[in-house]
Structure 1
Amino acid sequence: MSDDANLIERFLEMLVAEAGASQHTLSAYRSDLEQASAIAGGRLSSAGRDEIKNLSARWRSLQNSTVARKSSSLRRYFGFLVEEGFRENDPSDALPRPGVVRSLPKTLSHAEIANLFQLIAEGLNCDPVKPATIRLSAIMELLYGSGFRASELVSLQRSAISGDKPYLIIKGKGEKERLVPVSQQARAAVQRWAECIDPKEKWLFPSRKGHISRIRLYQIIKQHAAKAGINPANISPHVLRHAFATHLLEGGADLRALQTLLGHSDISTTQIYTHIDSARLVELVNNRHPLSERNLVR
């Protein structure tokens, strides 16, 4: 194992031990560091500022968001090397700091959500009801009604949600625990689905090799969207999570409460949703502020 490969492994071990990094996060760091190591000829860990500048030059064709992520990965890696005594100086100041315009999240309208659930309701009224429809009902209730991430949903155990418990404590990104509300309607949908699977099953959404994959979940959602007349390119499990957040905020939810429900460690991540309802915020000031007689112009 080369020096770079060995040190990258030690760095990833540190991320798990000290930061509780998820497999997705580890995979992203590994990819960025191994690609940078390949460009540096296997000498990334000892690279100087000139080598780092050469690395940056190779990134010129990439999007700003990609360059920013790669730079962030390398900064953390070099910080680790210095802190652990594997090198004396940190060349991170030679890394680019591109400005990144944060893209607004895709979401769905209330009408589109209504179409998705109306199609499920029609399927549930059939005789007999297809098990796939019952499963879809449970999936949609949890994704849109509770804001689950795809990885959190597919890894739910069969015993995780009970009929008398209106919430669930789960571990999300970075192994951080958060409270997830589960509506009575969602609990009923889950209970109906649980009756369709073997009581010995460990997972709520099982497959032949364990639980269904995130890729399979994406396929299920996109197939359903197409049947409901929604462009499959505009929907995913994460878009349903965005819709959950967007519609809560439109309904008057507090931003801090939304941060807790989504499991965001930083409020700035949650603030991206505030773009959606500027008209409601203007109306709020017009109606609630002491100087409301001097109404703002929309």
Structure 2
Amino acid sequence: MTIANLPAIRACRPAWNKCHLVGQKRPLLPKHVWAIRVRLELAGNIRDLAIFNTVIDSKLRGCDLVKLEVADVYAAGQVKERASIIQSKTQKPVRFELSEGTRKSLEDWFRNPLMIGSEYLWPGRFHERLHISTRQYARLVRDWVTSIGLEPSSYGTHSMRRTKVAEIYRKTGNLRAVQLLLGHTKMDSTVRYLGAEIEDALAIAEGIEV
């Protein structure tokens, strides 16, 4: 009697995204940005305020933000007004601006004892970890949005990256500028990244006759 080789029966695992919202995370609105800043300032949380301001201005991916070095943003005894790094994902350079408020928060952070002799802008708390991890950064984002009453599942680290460019596009409609600021190599990547903002542009265009 021949015994057929039947496939092994495996226990069904729940889908990884069960009970989770997936897809593009929302950018913060200007009122959200200011609400988080005020809470961090009132709490005297100098490091988190510096991280928050830096990511809003730099528009960097989390993997690049956590690896920022002091030399990337600081030279000749002061914080740079503009900086440039090589992106981990594309190995292409991207430039970004540091506003006056961001530069001030970074200067305050540099005076913290944890920054003495540190190569990295956001040093880790343990000797084997030179800088904070992307997981730690994601937890910070969750804390920030929760602190102002937002639903944390609707926001993530890419919300921080998208926040300023979404506002720039909303006000100017300049896709090329957004592409450069995000460090995208292809325009269609920028179009997909903006998501709903493209629909907004089409709605505006439909309301204008020439």
TM-score (norm 1): 0.55
Q: Which runs of 4+ in 1 moved over 3 A?
A: 277-287
**Which of the residues 80, 87, 93 maps onto 1:165?**
80
1:175 alignment counterpart: 91
**How far off is 1:164 after superposition?**
5.1
Change (3 A) 1:198 1:110: closer
**How far off is 1:170 after superposition?**
0.5
**How far off is 1:192 after superposition?**
1.0
| Cα pair 2:57 2:99 within 8 Å, conserved | yes
1:24 alignment counterpart: none
Aligned equivalents of 1:236 and 1:215: distance in 2?
A: 11
Greater relative contact order, per chain length (Cα 8 Å cut-off, separation 6+): 2
Aligned equivalents of 2:27 and 2:137: distance in 1?
A: 18
Change (3 A) 1:164 1:281: farther
1:201 alignment counterpart: 118
Q: Structure 1 unaligned runs (5+)?
A: 1-62, 64-102, 124-128, 292-298
SS at match of 1:175: coil
Aligned equivalents of 2:159 and 2:187: distance in 1?
A: 19
**How far off is 1:282 after superposition?**
4.6
Whether 1:154 aligns to 2:57 is no
**Which of the residues 175, 197, 200 maps onto 1:276?**
197
If each structure's helix is expressed as a fraction of its own residues, which one has the higher value?
1
How well do the aligned residues superpose, as a CA RMSD in angstroms?
A: 2.3
Q: Structure 2 unaligned runs (5+)?
A: 1-14, 16-22
SS at match of 1:188: helix
1:97 alignment counterpart: none
> What does residue range 1-298 of structure 1 map to in structure 2 within 5 Å?
104-123=24-43, 129=44, 133-162=45-74, 163=78, 165-172=80-87, 173-196=89-112, 197-207=114-124, 208=126, 209-252=129-172, 254-272=174-192, 273=194, 275-276=196-197, 278-279=199-200, 282-283=203-204, 291=210
Please tell me the residue identity of whatever aligns with 1:153: L
Aligned residue pair count: 180
TM-score (norm 2): 0.75
1:92-126, Cα deviation, whole Å (9 max, x unpaired)? xxxxxxxxxxx555323333333222212322xxx
- Considering only CA atoms, is the larger Rg found in Structure 1 or Structure 2? 1
1:31-82, Cα deviation, whole Å (9 max, x unpaired)? xxxxxxxxxxxxxxxxxxxxxxxxxxxxxxxx9xxxxxxxxxxxxxxxxxxx
